[in-house]
């Protein structure tokens, strides 16, 4: 039987988020070890997202927006703005530093933000990969349109589609808009699956779920019924038999590796971000 995982609210550099994963009842869904809902939030001119440089190891980050934009910078030299429907996929591997801010044009005017941020744990044998960054435009992502259902495959593989975003374990992340009465099968019966309701109402099994709810599907839940027209994100993948440790922005299967990362950040041993090296988030 499907169940709702209730989010906790956090403040990230002026942006309030609702964090579902990790959850005391379920630390991971497939490789997804972190799930934040950003906004919807409105900002006056002069205020907005201002997440200072900070480090990561052992994971990939996925940023996906419904509204607004975020300016990404990282220690590899990447400097670009993400818009709704595009994908920012940053693989930290052995270590990367990034910041999330706004362009001058956005910050100087009234603006809004809404979207999702996820962390995807790297498999243990890939945890120390060289860091990398990928930006894919929405028009380059696979999509499916049929009988009132529109799907965009953001990452992974599902429904015979494969995303151009390079992932490191079997997974899927799908953005779906569907009309009332639509019935959507779970992508893979053997993979862990969760649904986040962006808008509308869904029925899974005997229960209904509304906007803002994060629903963990059971093995017996085979279909999602759209009770009211809306949008939802479906994500998941192969279950991790061993759950890695997580401390702050660090993910690792080794506690000593996390301790090393903490010391490296405190002692300034991580690389800096070109053009954004005047401040940072302390450990």
> Alpha carbon 119 to chain centroid distance?
6
Q: CA–CA separation, 19 vs 23, rounded Å?
A: 9
> Alpha carbon 20 to chain centroid distance?
11
- Please compute the mean of the pLDDT values over residues 71-94 and round it to a whole number: 98
36: tokens are: 């934040």
Residue 13 has what pLDDT?
58
Q: CA–CA separation, 5 vs 244, rounded Å?
A: 20
Q: What backbone torsions phi and psi does residue 265 show, to the nearest 5 degrees? A: -70, -45
For the chain, the maximum distance between any two Cα atoms, rounded to a whole number of angstroms, is 57
pLDDT of 126-174, one tens digit each?
A: 999 999 999 999 999 999 999 999 999 999 999 999 999 999 999 999 9
Contact 214, 196 (CB under 8 A): yes
Residue 16 has what pLDDT?
80
- Please compute the mean of the pLDDT values over residues 263-273 and round it to a whole number: 98
Band (pLDDT 50/70/90 cuts) for residue 258 is very high
First to last CA, the chain: 40
Q: CA–CA separation, 65 vs 127, rounded Å?
A: 26
Contact 99, 54 (CB under 8 A): yes
Band (pLDDT 50/70/90 cuts) for residue 228 is very high
Sequence spans of domains, the chain: 3-237
What are the distances in angstroms from CA 167 to CA 27, 34, 67, 90, 120? 20, 16, 25, 10, 9
Residue 14 has what pLDDT?
64
Q: What backbone torsions phi and psi does residue 105 show, to the nearest 5 degrees? A: -65, -35
pLDDT of 94-126, one tens digit each?
A: 999 999 999 999 999 999 999 999 999 999 999
Residue 282 has what pLDDT?
97
pLDDT of 217-226, one tens digit each?
A: 999 999 999 9
Alpha helices in the chain (DSSP H): 104-107, 255-266
Instruction: Match 């809902």 to its residue by tokens.
Output: 37
104's CB contacts (< 8 A; 6+ apart) are none
90: tokens are: 């940053």
Residue 79 has what pLDDT?
98
Question: What percentage of the chain reaches a pLDDT higher than 90?
Answer: 96
Using a 10 angstrom Cβ sphere, with 0-12 exposed, 13-18 middle and 19 or more buried, the burial of residue 160 is exposed
Q: What backbone torsions phi and psi does residue 236 show, to the nearest 5 degrees? A: 160, -160
Q: CA–CA separation, 67 vs 151, rounded Å?
A: 18
Give the dihedral of Cα atoms 183, 165, 107, 10; nearest 10 deg.
70
Contact 29, 194 (CB under 8 A): yes
Q: Give the CATH fold of the 3-237 domain.
A: Jelly Rolls (2.60.120)
Average pLDDT, the chain: 96
188: tokens are: 């893979």
3-state secondary structure of 217: coil
- Please compute the mean of the pLDDT values over residues 37-48 and round it to a whole number: 94
pLDDT of 14-28, one tens digit each?
A: 678 899 999 999 999
């Amino acid at each position: 039987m499907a169940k709702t995982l209730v989010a906790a609210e956090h403040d990230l550099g002026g942006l309030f988020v609702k964090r579902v994963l990790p959850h005391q009842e379920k630390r991971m869904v497939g490789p997804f070890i972190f799930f934040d809902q950003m906004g919807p939030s409105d900002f006056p001119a002069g205020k907005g997202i201002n997440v200072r440089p900070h480090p990561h190891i052992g994971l990939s980050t996925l940023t996906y927006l419904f509204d607004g934009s975020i300016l990404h910078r990282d220690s590899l030299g990447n400097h670009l703005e993400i818009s709704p429907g595009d994908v920012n996929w940053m693989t930290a591997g052995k270590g990367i530093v990034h910041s999330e801010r706004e362009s001058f044009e956005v910050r100087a005017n009234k603006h809004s933000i809404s979207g999702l941020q996820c962390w995807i744990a790297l498999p243990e044998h890939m945890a120390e990969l060289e860091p990398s960054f990928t930006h894919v435009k929405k028009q380059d992502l696979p999509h499916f349109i049929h009988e009132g259902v529109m799907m965009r495959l953001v990452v992974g593989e599902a429904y015979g589609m494969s995303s151009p975003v390079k992932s490191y374990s079997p997974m899927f992340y799908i953005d779906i808009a569907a009309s009332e009465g639509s019935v959507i099968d779970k992508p893979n019966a053997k993979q862990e699956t969760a649904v986040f309701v962006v808008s509308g109402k869904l029925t899974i099994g005997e229960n209904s779920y509304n906007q803002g709810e994060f629903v963990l599907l059971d093995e017996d839940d085979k279909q999602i019924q759209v009770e009211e027209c809306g949008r939802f994100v479906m994500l998941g993948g192969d279950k991790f038999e061993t759950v890695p440790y997580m401390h702050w922005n660090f993910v690792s299967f080794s506690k000593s590796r996390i301790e090393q990362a903490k010391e490296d950040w405190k002692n300034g041993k991580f690389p800096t971000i070109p053009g954004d090296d005047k401040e940072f988030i302390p450990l």
